[in-house]
Structure 1
Amino acid sequence: MSANPLPNQAGPRRVAILGATGSIGSSALDVIARHPGQMRASVLAAGNNVDALIALCRSHRPEHAAIADPALYERLRDGLRDAGLATAAHAGTAAIDALAAGDACDTVVAAIVGAAGLSSTLAAARAGKRLLLANKESLVLAGELLTREAAAAGAEIIPIDSEHNAIFQCLRSRDASVEGAGVRRILLTASGGPFRGRSRAELEAVTPAQAVAHPKWSMGPKISVDSATLMNKGLEVIEAHHLFGVPGARIDVLVHPQSLVHSLVEFIDGSTLAQLGLPDMRTTLAVGLGWPRRVESGVAGLDLLAQGRLDFEAPDLDAFPCLRLAWQAMEAGGSAPAILNAANEVAVSAFLQGRIGFLSIPALVEHALSTLPYMAADTLDALLAADARSRQVTSTAIARLPHA
């Protein structure tokens, strides 16, 4: 293993991991630990799991640790001190934003789930950082705003979810719209989730435990439910539109249950490039941390003979209408994606709590999209206001359900 810094780096890459205690944070730390001379975790941030954050600090010894809940500051500070660590303690979203934008890091892994990750992602973009983007909501809520701010500051966005990272690798950049790129269409692949092949009627009685049991990926409960409803893929369609400058009419979805082909790009000359690999987030994180150089991720190569076959099918928009709703919101533009995302977050939370059924999730999202007016999406305040209105409308609708 080389101890030399990565190309274009004066020293080791200094990485802030926002969402360090989650599955993406764990994978990022695994990759970083394999390259001690090339990169190090300088900032670790988490939501409210103080004990897990302190344990990570013991292992990785960052310069800074931050907890989003200000009420937990003393526990974090005292825990770090008791562990004999020199790591500085911080608390609150403003502190996390400042760390993402400041001198403590040159690279930010944006893996805070939900709208809570938006402000720190924007802060990193405005500071011109290399942004390893795993927070879908930053692009769904504020794709126009984020890409504009990143371009103005010279920030480098490298998507970390497997589908967009695959497209990034096929294009060798994020820009599919420049003259000469020759992109005809982008094809996002979807595993189909745990309920692939089931009819709408068969989905009526599924439980939260069944919905979070993803057949291929290890993810948090919210993202797992989004995969089960295909909302995850709908959000990725919106993301791809913003990331790669491609209109929705040139973005398609293919269900691919093996999850080995992570996405494809079709070009005007008839060529189609695909990126394949085992379903492991460490690959995409290694791409983001090392790009344009390839670095060891700890993931084995793909044995196609052992896998045997690759299957593809069209998504069932009747059984899984969330994908159709996401396309609808993308085409409407403005605040519509923010409304979609917020309604979905509230509905998924209610489903995980056992307050609503699985099929109520798309129904509640459609209710919010049909109830609320769409506004311009040119400021963060406007987007957050649309987000708040959607949450209120959806919460009210849930409260009125007979079994809520």
Structure 2
Amino acid sequence: MATAVSTAMSTAVSAQTRLSTDHADTQVVLDSYQASAGPGAAVHAGNRAGSWDLHSGTAETGTKRAIGPDDQFRIASQTKTFTAVVVMQLVDEGKVELDAPIERYLPGVVAGNGYDGNRISVRQILQHTSGISDKFGNHKAGPDGTYSLREVIRAALVKPPLFEPGTSWRYSNINFLVAGLLIEQITGMPAAEAITARIIRPLGLTRTAYPRPGDRRLDAPYLPGYVGGRAGPFFFWINQTFAVELTHYATAGAMASTEENLATFEQALADGKLMSPAALAQMRTTVPMPGFPANMSYGLGLWRLDLSCGGHAWGHFGDLTTGHSSGTFATDDGRHAAMVTNAYVGAEGKTTRAQVVDSALCGTPVG
């Protein structure tokens, strides 16, 4: 049976006030979501005063272990927000211009087969309005079995553009591989090192990591990931936790973290701790997302979620075939909510993770 536990956001629990309500409404939503998601699901939420946790199902098949807020898992496309933050920091430093063509920084990379890097801006890449292909191509691994950013981008751009730059919107992992290559070109270091030095280390995200090429580990305690599904009362799950070479996704989806660390990151971003107010305002300038619910829009590597209780939250969702689907959002008044399920959820059921996040945020008082 699903249960609720309460915990503080950090080990210094004496310095924080636990939230005492049982959040029964959110538990119902979480249970409904988990019924068509993975073997388990969890949400970690709270405000500046403290945090609370709910879980449903199990973290690992064959056991009754609850998913914990410190369990490490693949955060998939939540990686995109980390990547976008580094690019925006480079904008703050005067090293990148948002409306400059990507050709200025990566000559010849976005070119040929209908692509012209002189007509695609950095902003359009971060906003998914570039028209760049949304499909991976037939990229070739190096001798060690890993992939370079340039090779994955090259193979993807064999496929023609989806539309003229700036005329539409389409979610594309390839955009954020280009953004990762931009980071490497400007900083002179691997994107993993830039993200670690600029975000992970300064925020003290000790359970967050950008893996080295070929490294598929997760640090204990970790959340196994599954693919599979249910058929009536029966279910089958295949453990895929370590099955994917993460350089395939790189700056679009390779990172690992925890619900607690992700809540800290998104709240720091919402609080303006990672870039200037002007840069954050640019990051939050959104466009509609065709095919998505009307209460969602997209900025620069950042998702806006309009809440049922009024106001909105900022964050990102993520899905990876390692068997993890998740999402983390924060508000300007200090509320945060991170959720995860231990399966790749290609098509959500009647209850969505956005509804879980919405319930958790709306059920948390400002504090």
Give the TM-score of the pair, scaled to structure 1. Answer: 0.23
Give the strand-richer structure, 1 or 2: 2
Give the helix-richer structure, 1 or 2: 1
Question: Quick one: higher RCO (CA 8 Å, sep 6+), 1 or 2?
Answer: 2
Larger Rg: 1
